[in-house]
Structure formats: structure tokens, C-alpha cells
Chains A and B, each alone.
Chain A
Amino acid sequence: MQQIISFIIKYKYFILFMLLQIIALNFTVQSHSYHKSKFVNSANLLTGGIYKKIYSFKQYTSLKKHNQQLLEENTRLKNSLSKTAIDSNHNIISIIDSLKYFQKYSYAFANVINNQYHKKHNYLTINLGSEKGVKPDQGVINSKGIIGITNTTSKNYATVLSILNNNSKINVKLLNSLHFGTLIWNAKDYNILQLIDLPIQADIKNGDTIITGGRSTIFPEGIPVGTILDFNKENNSYKDINIKLFNDMSAIGPVNIITNFDKEEITNLEETINE
């Protein structure tokens, strides 16, 4: 007993060091596995509050740019609205009949109060939380394309797993064909992502547009992602397809958060198959 105590006293700093180091490594390992970083995240009251303060200063410098973005989006939406009115031969009223029409998605808006893009595992913080109905696993987009997926939420803030994250995998497809692929990031350039799992049958060219696939319950189909920058063909399969994003991931202002009303139904259905 005496020896154990003297051992502890002799190595007390080393024991303290090891103890704290194990805690730190535990947090690190947790953060490497997707969706487990519940404790250390920037969606809590203190970090969220400080980021909100910083954001209120930064906001002024980017107002002009954000106005321009909103104007562009409005123009695009107005154009598509006038297109449908002509195409459907004033049937548009019957489509919005509340008995026949089921709303599938709803959009909430938030501001990005903290943005990362230079690390290997990047997260964003937004100023909308569980109080306003934000849950984990919701899609986050802006007018130019996809941003990421909500990860952890607190009362007033939420963290978003950016598409610039090594753990991020997003189902995408080509605009001009029905071939699907998966969008990942190799942590090199923050405006260039990689497309994998694309079958060789898909005929691609540089400059082809990539949109979200709609296979997951997170993003609706047809949200713009980017264009093909370059690619290699090797052993009869595609290799290194680089995608240039429409978005500038280093400057993101207002975003939309997508709620899918059918999500529960779809996940329940898929769970019954797995059982």
C-alpha cells in the first residue's frame, strides 16, 4: 500500500497528464466518427453567442454581396414561376388545391455566423436552433447550391457538417442523364470537390452540370451543385472527377434549411425492410 501511494506521489504529474490526454483523445475520436460529436461543438450558448456578436460586425461588410445574391435568386424564381403559368395552361390553381396538393418540403432561413473551410473536418454554425424546429440531418442550401447537413443543435444555434468535410457524402446526379454518384471532398481545395461511384456508362464532358440526386431524404432533387472541371478515365472506370462548386464556400451569408415532411415515413419504411 505504501508503495502504491509513493508511486502515485512520484508520478502524480504524469498520471494527471495521461488522464487529461485520454479525455482529449476521447473527444477527438468521437469527433472523427460522424454524428457523435455531441459534447464539443460550437452550438452552445457561449460559443454561439460570441459568434453571433462577431457576425453582427462582419454582416455590414457583406451586405452588398448578399443583396446581389438575393436579387439573383428572386429573378430566377420569378422566371420559373412565369414559366409554369404558361406551360400548365392556367391549371396552376387546381395544383394548389389543398386537398390534392401535399407539401413535401418547407424552407426556413438562417444566417451563417461561423464558417470554416481550411481544415479537414469543417463545420459551420448557424443562428437557428431546436427552438425553431431545426433537427439533426436536415439539408442546408443557399441560392447557389448545397452547403451541408445539420449536425448538432442547441436551443438557438446549430452546427452544420459542411460539404467540405471528410465525413460528408452526398448523393448527386448529372443534369442531363439519370446516372448517380457520390460527392466527397479530398480536403485539398475548398472550391473543388470530387465525384465518385459514377458508372462508366454515364457520358460526361467537362462543364457538365451536377445536381442533387433526391435519393436521400435530406436534399430535394435538382439543387445545383457545380460543374465538372476535369476527369481521368482509368481501367474502364472514371477516376478523379473534379467538381467546381457554384458556391464560393469561403463567403456564405444567408442559408435555407430544408425540412422534409415525408422523412419519417420514408425512414420508417426503410427500417421495416432492414428488420
Chain B
Amino acid sequence: MNDIFKYSFLFIALILIQIIVLNNILFLGYINPFLYILFIVVFPFRRDRGFILILSFILGLIIDFFSDSGGINAAATLAIAYIRLPLIKGLLRKTEIDFLVFNILKTPFSKLLSFIAILTFTHHFILFSLDYFKFSELLTILSRTILTSVFTIILIIFSLLLMNKNK
């Protein structure tokens, strides 16, 4: 019960932070970090996998509604929600049973960082590819992906530190 309340609060809070603050702040003129994927990082692994797929789709679509961007956020968020379980398994070499008591915040920092980095890069790459939708713009897509990912990763790490402190 406590968990449901906690994650619904996080869901709404991340959407509001994204649309009110982050979509208006542009570092160096055009870098616009996407903190809302933090939800995909911290959502418990023990839940049903179909549930997180549907939630991530809704999360992305709500961001799309606010930024008039069609379905690019929904597609990118859905993709990282799908790859997140195989990815963490590959990184930590764990079996299914461990996930019952598994907490992402308790993993070693280097593993956690590479987990976040891969998710962020994948998300941003899909997002900008779908936004530009042209092979001739590949260089722009890559440069925006890398620059924006750096800021998103920094923000996610800071948010995780804050969340850890509150406990």
C-alpha cells in the first residue's frame, strides 16, 4: 500500500517537474534534460513486467501531450522499460529469484551508473531519431543525444542521492 502511494506520487511529481521546470530550462541554449525516465530506473523489479510497460507508455504519452511531439517520448520510454530487465540481469548476472528483495539503490555505484547511462543513451537516441527522422541529420542526432544524456544522467544521480537521504 505504501509502495503504491509512493510510486504514484513519484509518477505525478516527475511529470510536473518535467513540464513545469525542465521543459523551460535550456542549458547552453538547447539542452533540455529528460528527468522523467528516473521512474523507469527506480520502479521495483518484482512487479509484473506488463505493468511497467503500460505505465511507461502512459508516462511517455503524457509528456508527449504536453510537448506536442506525437508519440516520440512514449516510444522511447517504452523501449527502455522493455530492455531494463534483460539489461540489469546482464550487468549483475542475477537470476529471477533475487529480484524479490532486489533494490536498485543497493547495487554498487559503477554498475548503477552504467545501468542508468545505457538506459539514458537508448532513450535519448530513439527520441531524437524519431524527432529528426532523417539519415542526413545523424550527426545532429548523435551530438544532441550525447550532450543531453550527460545532463540527464547527472540529474538522475542527484535525484537518487536525494531519495536515498530521505530514507
| Residues of A in contact with B (beta carbons under 8 Å apart) | 12-13, 16-17, 20-21, 23-32, 37, 40-42, 44, 46-47, 50-51, 54, 114, 116, 118-121, 123, 125, 159, 187
Contact = CB atoms under 8 A, between A and B. Distances in A.
Contact of B70 (A13, A20, A30): A30
B54 A31 contact: no
B61 A13 contact: no
B71 A159 contact: no
A17 to B, nearest CB: 5
Contacts of A114: 66
A55 to B, nearest CB: 11
Contacts of A29: 70
A118 B82 CA distance: 29
27 contacts: A16-B50, A16-B53, A20-B53, A20-B54, A20-B57, A20-B78, A23-B57, A23-B74, A24-B57, A25-B75, A25-B130, A27-B61, A27-B64, A29-B70, A31-B69, A31-B71, A40-B64, A41-B65, A42-B66, A42-B68, A114-B66, A118-B26, A118-B29, A120-B131, A121-B68, A123-B68, A187-B132
Contacts, number: 96
Contacts of A27: 61, 64, 70-71, 74
A16 B68 CA distance: 25
Nearest to A115: B24
Given A16-B50, A47-B65, A119 B131 contact: yes
A28 B68 contact: no
A47 B66 contact: yes
Contacts of B65: 40-42, 44, 46-47
Contact of A25 (B49, B71, B132, B140): B71
A40 B19 contact: no
Contacts of A37: 68, 70
Contacts of A46: 65
Nearest to B29: A118
B133 A41 contact: no
Contacts of B70: 27-32, 37, 40
Contact of B130 (A28, A118, A159): A28
B71 A17 contact: no
Nearest to B48: A13
A7 B11 CA distance: 33
A125 B133 CA distance: 24
A114 B65 CA distance: 12
A41 B62 CA distance: 10
B57 A12 contact: no
A17 B53 contact: yes
Given A28-B130, A54-B20, A119-B131, A13 B53 contact: yes
